[in-house]
Amino acid sequence: MVGEQVTDEGLDEGSEDRVVDKGAAGLSVRDLTVRYEEGAPPAVDDVSLDVAPGRVVALLGASGSGKSSLLRAVAGLVRPERGTVLWDGEDVTRVPVHRRGFGLMFQDGQLFPHRDVAGNVGYALNRMPRGRRRARVGELLELVGLQGYQNRPVQEISGGQAQRVALARALAAQPRLLLLDEPLSSLDKALRSRLASDIRDLVQRTGTTTVHVTHDQDEAFAVADLVGVMEAGRLVQLDTPARLWGHPADAGVVELLGQGPVVAPEQMAAWFGVRVEGPVALPVGSLVVEEARESSGRAPGAGGISAEVVSSRFVRGRTEVEVKLPDGRLAAAVVGGGALGREPGETVGLGVDASALVHLRPGH
């Protein structure tokens, strides 16, 4: 869907309407291609993207999908082979990094070890009078929840605090666009979750247009108004988090989101007696273990199937089993009735909760 952009204005979670963002203001990327070596596949392949003023777009994808290369081309750190980067309609493709007015934050924060917290946050404010600079640094540290940390050596603060300092530094010069490249990936999951919410709150309060690159879907969904999925250098889908989850564009997006195998309509009818209009994914919670069986005792089309248990695990208060579907693929099923597990090699009956199926976007 390269070249098709949507905003979440005027969309509710069930809406099928798509609102085109013309990109007259804010960030507009047009037909951008990045290639690092002649003859090599492009790292970014003909991508177009709009980010409206004050909005947050997360770029989600596996390693090597092109999401960081796209962000670096927007920042000016990478020269594109072709295409344009515009801000408020002005072409900035060949404008040097330091003249774009964009703020950057990377995975490790890249704090200056020889400066204290205040020195790092105030680095971009050297032309500001000392008193005003001191006040501005104090405002920013309060904004990120680090009041009173001005004189702390950066070597003596935690990883989460260091990322807050890096975020305050990126916001110091009031950038017109904030670019975040895997800013939370070095932190543990609980801290990532808290800081993702904090970033969302901060950029909303400051009205900062933001592009946030991550490989973590929970982080992307927590931070963004719109989530773009990158595959092999291409932007294959750009949607609100709810629409992305509920209507993934293709099997690649399904795999990235961990939504289970994609099943054809004829398979759903034959296996479970459920009719669907197009391909569906089977996320955790859609398949339910109904009963244990020693042999295959349920005929296809009788509302369920028999399947072999491959493994069993206890996850967040419930038991899940990995089962082998009739076509040999693996899927996760939930064990109901308070059962504590199933043994590998055991045969179980599977039913499906049709309301939990994920329907791929029409046309894919």
pLDDT (0 to 100) of residue 342: 76
Span 338-343, mean pLDDT? 63
Per-residue pLDDT band at 337 (split at 50, 70, 90) = low
Find tokens 């070597």 and name the residue: 155
The full DSSP string for 88-138 is TTEE-TTS-GGGS-EEEE-TTTT--TTSBHHHHHGGGGTTS-HHHHHHHHH
CA distance 331 to 322: 6
pLDDT above 80 (res 286): yes
Q: Which is nearest to 212 in space by CA: 247, 242, 170?
A: 170
CA distance 151 to 121: 11
Per-residue pLDDT band at 335 (split at 50, 70, 90) = confident
Asked if 192 contacts 216 with a C-beta cutoff of 8 angstroms, the reply is yes
Q: What are phi and psi of 62, to 5 degrees?
A: -75, 170
pLDDT in tens, 19-46: 334 445 899 999 999 999 999 999 999 9
Distance (Å) of CA 97 to CA 75, 77, 120, 190: 6, 7, 19, 34
Per-residue pLDDT band at 311 (split at 50, 70, 90) = very high
CA distance 155 to 114: 9
pLDDT above 50 (res 5): no
* Proportion of the chain in helix, strand, coil states, percent, rounded to 5: 30, 30, 45
Asked if 350 contacts 282 with a C-beta cutoff of 8 angstroms, the reply is no
Mean confidence (pLDDT) of the chain: 86
Residue 353: how many other CB atoms lie within 10 Å: 14
Per-residue pLDDT band at 126 (split at 50, 70, 90) = confident
More confident residue, 71 or 23: 71
Q: Which is nearest to 325 in space by CA: 340, 310, 314?
A: 310
Instruction: Give the list of residues 6+ apart from residue 353 with CB closer than 8 angstroms, or none.
Output: 285, 286, 287, 288
Per-residue pLDDT band at 338 (split at 50, 70, 90) = low
End-to-end CA distance of the chain: 11
CA distance 310 to 337: 20
CA distance 238 to 295: 45
Domains delineated in the chain: 27-101+175-257 (3.40.50.300), 264-359 (2.40.50.140)
Q: List, in sequence order, every residue forming a beta bridge with 241; answer none if it has no partner.
A: none
Say what percent of the chain tops pLDDT 90: 66
Asked if 58 contacts 224 with a C-beta cutoff of 8 angstroms, the reply is yes
Residue 345: how many other CB atoms lie within 10 Å: 8
